[in-house]
Amino acid sequence: MPWECGKGWWPMIEKAAAAIDSFNVANPENPIEVSQIKQKFGGLRIYCYNAPEDIRQLIDEAVAASWHTCEKCGSTTGVITNLEGYRLTLCPACRKEIKPRVISKRKIIITR
Ligand SMILES: [Zn+2]
């Protein structure tokens, strides 16, 4: 299953993924099903079914940490989620490399 987010978040996901893997090895008849791991609106999303409380907590921790961790490089310094145009959680250095979405400069001329 692809992890549809930047490498900066992979270490956080790995912790939950390792717990899910070992749960599934121990419970092959009733495994946790992970349907999607992705970035949405600047935060990490992990969709899964059948996760027990302790693993759900690990997932919640990863999701909560994503809001304070640069999705690209994993830095936790000066990380903010940009709410204009592109919505990404990045550190200042990675933010510089990403160009904001181009907004049309065309003006609407109203004639009467
Ligand atoms: Zn970064």
Distance 95 CA to ligand 1 centre (A): 7
Number of neighbours of residue 57 by Cβ within 10 angstroms: 13
Distance 14 CA to ligand 1 centre (A): 19
pLDDT of residue 96: 86
Residue 52 is encoded by which pair of tokens? Answer: 């027990």
Distance 107 CA to ligand 1 centre (A): 35
Distance 109 CA to ligand 1 centre (A): 41
In a domain, 88, yes or no: yes
How many domains would you assign to the chain?
1
In a domain, 18, yes or no: yes
Yes or no: say if 66 and 43 are a contact pair by the CB < 8 Å rule.
yes
- pLDDT tens for the chain, 112 residues long, are 789 999 999 999 999 999 999 999 999 999 999 999 999 999 999 999 999 999 999 999 999 999 999 999 999 999 999 866 678 999 999 988 876 555 566 666 666 6
DSSP letter for 88, please.
-
In a domain, 110, yes or no: no
| Residue 43 structural domain | 3-97
For the entire predicted model, the pTM comes to 0.81
Q: How far is CA 83 from CA 7, 25, 43, 44, 97, in A?
A: 21, 40, 12, 15, 17
